[in-house]
Amino acid sequence: MKPHAPRKRFGQHFLVDASVLARIADAVAPRDGDRVVEIGPGLGALTAVLLDRVATLEAVEIDRDLVARLRRRWPEPRLVVHEADVLEFDFGALAAGRRLRLVGNLPYNISSPLLIGLLSHRASIVDVHFMLQKEVVDRIVAPHGGADYGRLGVMMQAFHRVERLFDVPPEAFDPPPRVDSSVMRMHPRAEPLVRDAATLEGLLAVAFNQRRKMLRGTLLPWLREQGLDPTAPAFALEPTARPEEIPVEEWARLADALLDARAARPQPPGVAP
């Protein structure tokens, strides 16, 4: 078979280090009966170690040539490859009531939109094991108070328990990426800290857009513009706080307060709340 020329536009860096592959498989520890879905199986390096442990596997791959290779190597039902853009893939429909375990060495250029997009499928997910750019994992697991703490970390932590597992150097891949990588695990929380993802996302976008500014210069005027009173006890806002000083639980509480305040706001006649 002709060797595959890695495609930059699909973020193709293939894992070639057997010890890293084994560590990922050990971390996932799939058992027969688990519905494991690999995102971006590529040339099948991780697929092979996962298929050593489960009878069948599903995968989502965008590159038509790689899809054809994978289907030749592992005919259905051993491997079911969905040729699709994972950003548009309906994990809820695939799960159909049987929750999924997601695994992948992700294309780094789509990791943030994928992680945010997966929030809407979280009821269909048991857990997630992803290799990402190390810098992105630093942000996902960051506690409040540091430079890595921001929108992505708050969003992920509000809905999941997150954990960095181990770091992976560029030499573990062919071709090697220009950045370090890390493997992380996320478990959707049975009870998310916040009620509505979009409300939290909107709030964080305003506050962290100017992360060095105090809330009195960002969030307070934004709330006023919406006809809300930022001094209301329900918000309990500290005007001189900066966004990175506010813990995830507090952001979640604020988002819930904003959701309630918007619902209670008087509506012009003829507009549904």
Q: Which residues bind ligand SAM (CB under 6 A)?
A: 10-15, 40-43, 45-46, 60-63, 66, 85-87, 105, 107, 110
Could you list the beta-strand ranges (E) of 142-194: 160-168, 173-174, 181-188
* Least distance between ligand SAM and beta carbon 12 (Å): 5
* Least distance between ligand SAM and beta carbon 44 (Å): 7
Residue among 81 and 223 whose Cβ is closer to ligand SAM = 81
Residue showing the smallest CB distance to ligand SAM in the complex: 40
Cis peptide leading into residue 77 (ω within 30°):
yes
* Least distance between ligand SAM and beta carbon 29 (Å): 18
Q: Which residues contact 170 (CB under 8 A, 6 or more apart)?
A: 176, 177, 178, 179, 180, 181
Residue among 41 and 153 whose Cβ is closer to ligand SAM = 41
Residue among 72 and 212 whose Cβ is closer to ligand SAM = 72
* Least distance between ligand SAM and beta carbon 5 (Å): 12
Four-CA torsion 269, 222, 253, 213, nearest 10 degrees: 180
Distances (CA, A) of 34 to 58, 123, 130, 214, 224: 11, 16, 17, 47, 49
Residue among 40 and 153 whose Cβ is closer to ligand SAM = 40
* Least distance between ligand SAM and beta carbon 162 (Å): 21
Residue among 11 and 153 whose Cβ is closer to ligand SAM = 11
| Alpha carbon distance 104, 89 (integer Å) | 15
Residue among 176 and 221 whose Cβ is closer to ligand SAM = 176
Q: Which residues contact 184 (CB under 8 A, 6 or more apart)?
A: 129, 130, 132, 137, 140, 141, 162, 163, 164, 165
* Least distance between ligand SAM and beta carbon 232 (Å): 43
